[in-house]
A and B are shown apart, each in its own frame.
Chain A
Amino acid sequence: MAELTYRDAVIRGIAQEMSRDPDVVFLGEDVAKAGGVFKATVGLYEQFGPLRVRDTPISEQAILGAAMGAAMTGLKPIAEIMFSDFFAVCFDYIANEFPKSRYMSNGQLKCPLVVRTGNGAGSRFGAQHSQSVENWCMMIPGLKVVAPSNPRDVIGLLAASVRDPDPVIFLEHKSLYATKGEVPDGEIVDSLGTAKILRPGKDATICALALMVPRALAAAEKLKAEHGIDCEVVDVRSLVPLDTQTILGSIAKTHRLFTVEENPRLCGWGAEIVSIVADEAFYDLDGPPVRITTPHIPLPAADILEDVVLPTPDRIAETVRRSLGS
């Protein structure tokens, strides 16, 4: 067991998979010699050499297209798109190419690749370098979408993503890179499509993803300490496949649902979960499901403004408290 940062967990996760399988290759902007703009790929170039860890031009379409062509013909590429906002300039691959080639070819083509990207706010970068775009990806049939909240999950879910035979969008949260967590020694391989109950509770279920997970946990501690409200916190971890059974099981116990989403409000993943719960667990609910989200606005740059728009532990706790009528 060792304490590792989320950033170092990315390095360890990629290294674990590249050591295991020579077909795993890695490409992106500044990822090799410079070790990545978030320093989340430091040392991989030195360890695995220039043929397997490759710097690319600033050509997001070329990066994702090349990853796809390599994946179709036998490699297992990991491609980095520096900021998830840049998905918008290579969205053809994410929306039209990766997820449809198997289907359109009636199963003749495959696309086993991972796109890693820095997602989310908190760095005061403004509206084009701070977005949470998980909902852009979740809506496309054929993709898998994963977003870890802690170093151990980074390694385990990254390994599961690299070994997965489908295209996986792997959303790393920029504001989590410096956070630390305990990580076991040796190989770690998790499974996609599994949510995790990080804090058991009986009064309400709070579903959260990535940076919103530690905030939901902090809110739960506050609610317990200040109001005696005992919340169960579910780390959704994987939007596709979605572990609805863990979520529905939690609601059967707590009878209340809250989602905490960093993405802007409209069509966020929480809406899908609320819809599933309304369809399948309506009579388990003692009150309306509540979505706690970033408002439907572009993200402002200034710290004082950005801090207000993202769900905070205080806002989560206050929303839950008011909704439960305590």
Chain B
Amino acid sequence: MATAKDRAQAKAGSGLNDDIGEQKRLELYRTQVVIREAEQRAYDLFLQNLVKGTSHLSLGQEAVAAGFAVAMKKGDLSFCTYRGHAHTLARGVSVEKVLGELMQRDNGLMRGKGGSMHLTSAEHGVMGSYAIIGAHLPIACGAAWRAQYKGEKDVSVCFFGDGTTNIGAFHEALNFAAVWKLPVIFVCENNLYMEYTPISEVTAVPQPAADRASAYGLERIVIDGNDADVVYRTAQAAYDKARAGDGPSLIECLTYRHSGHSRADPAKYRPEGELDRWKLRDPIKIYRERLLQFGVSDKAIADIDADVRKIVDEATEACKAAPPPPLDIIATDVYADGGWAWRN
């Protein structure tokens, strides 16, 4: 079997029907555009004071979410961080439900009980977004353990940022997953900054995830996280490995967030010109060119763009019109009986 690195480095074929094919390519493009448009809209709504609380956008990082999600099978499980809108949307959760949660409306994914940092849609395999750095890596191990124990073929995929590689749970989870040979994939989105500080200033090795892989007997994998084809192929190889019972993978995706860490961050700590250089490698720009190169028409691309814009516009209006959550949900679902009673 080809290693993840081989697959990632494999050159795209000469026609639309190479190993990825037209249908998957259109899906990869559309998914990235959905994320781009929904995230941009979330930012605009924040400026209008309609998105409350915090929000952590994935503008510029769309290819990682799209590549992994499109390569998944139904039943595979995603575990996300507080920067999880992209991964949630990539699994097919509706834009309205995501924006509704950000806008704290009753039509939100969790009716406003979770908020931007905790998007969850179990029916889509989005098993939660976790806001304590590193917490979900061991949790993904547990879901993978269940699959292994029950002989089920689903894979658990855990997305996290570069900053996570310096917290204990990251190392506990990698060792645990390797020793138990679990069908879990750890995906580091290295966007160069842990919150406001360059990851290179606080990490002992140049590649914060990949350079730790050997400590756990894992292959060192660093890929271009702005090229959805590369991500897709790498993901497929890792899924194949996990489903074959050959254990976990750790994949470091090089990418860049176009906005600040959170809504409150203007990202003034970035050196001049850095953002412009990365925008030349904007994943959506790269992928539009890829589609054209494979013979997809300008019109077909424009149609996808227009369709997605319409969906996001309609979702925005639906959320603006939606009521806030009713007060009676404050005390529901604390315990499995549906309520909150702690005494008789």
Contact = CB atoms under 8 A, between A and B. Distances in A.
Contacts of A66: 138-139, 141-142, 145, 176
Contact of B145 (A69, A93, A166): A69
A203 interface: no
B55 to A, nearest CB: 16
Contacts of A141: 334, 340, 342
Most interface-central of A71, A101, A108 (chain B CB within 10 A): A108
A241 B114 CA distance: 24
A106 B113 contact: yes
Interface string A61-103: 1111111111111110100000000000000110011000111
Most interface-central of A68, A77, A144, A242 (chain B CB within 10 A): A68
A112 B335 CA distance: 10
Contacts of A193: 343-344
B139 A241 contact: no
Interface string B317-344: 0000000000001001111111011111
B275 interface: no
A59 interface: yes
Interface stretch (B10-18, B37-45, B129-137): B129-137
Interface string A44-74: 0000000110101101011111111111111
B300 to A, nearest CB: 36
A109 B149 contact: no
A211 B52 CA distance: 49
A315 B113 CA distance: 48
A108 B142 CA distance: 18
Nearest to B101: A106
Contacts of B138: 59, 61-66, 68-69, 93
Nearest to B141: A66
A261 B343 CA distance: 19
A110 B333 CA distance: 10
Contact of B113 (A59, A71, A97, A104): A104
A64 to B, nearest CB: 7
A325 interface: no
B26 to A, nearest CB: 30
Contacts of A92: 132, 135, 169
Given A70-B143, A70-B145, A65 B137 contact: yes
A52 B137 CA distance: 21
Nearest to A75: B146
B299 interface: no
B179 A105 contact: no
Given A59-B175, A141-B334, A141-B342, A73 B143 contact: yes
Given A106-B329, A240-B342, A71 B120 contact: no
Contacts of B144: 69
B139 A69 contact: yes
A67 B138 CA distance: 9
B56 interface: no
A61 B176 CA distance: 10
A65 B173 CA distance: 9
B6 interface: no
Contact of A107 (B118, B135, B338, B341): B338
B128 interface: yes
A33 B118 CA distance: 39
B251 interface: no
Given A70-B142, A107-B338, A51 B149 contact: yes
Nearest to B336: A165
A256 B309 CA distance: 70
A52 B128 CA distance: 26
A118 interface: no
A63 to B, nearest CB: 8
B226 interface: no
A72 B77 CA distance: 11
Nearest to A239: B342
B110 A241 contact: no
A61 B128 CA distance: 18
Given A106-B113, A141-B340, A67 B142 contact: yes
A57 B146 CA distance: 18
A103 B169 CA distance: 23
Contacts of B128: 72, 101, 104-105, 109
B172 interface: yes
Contact of B132 (A68, A73, A96, A110): A96
B334 A73 contact: no
Contacts of B143: 69-70, 72-73
Interface in A209-262: 240-245
B334 A109 contact: no
Most interface-central of A52, A71, A102 (chain B CB within 10 A): A102
B121 interface: yes
A57 B344 contact: no
B122 interface: yes
B231 interface: no
Contacts of A68: 138-139, 142
B334 A142 contact: yes
A106 B173 CA distance: 27
B177 to A, nearest CB: 9
Interface of A: 25, 51-52, 54, 56-57, 59, 61-75, 77, 92-93, 96-97, 101-110, 112, 141-142, 144, 164-166, 193, 240-245, 276
Given A69-B140, A112-B336, A245-B344, 13 more contacts: A52-B149, A57-B179, A59-B176, A62-B141, A63-B138, A65-B139, A65-B141, A66-B145, A69-B141, A73-B77, A105-B122, A106-B113, A193-B343
18 contacts: A61-B135, A61-B169, A62-B175, A66-B139, A69-B127, A69-B141, A70-B149, A96-B132, A105-B118, A106-B111, A107-B332, A108-B120, A166-B335, A193-B344, A241-B343, A242-B343, A244-B343, A245-B344
Give me the 3 closest cross-chain CB pairs, A-B, nearest first. Answer: A65-B138, A69-B142, A165-B336
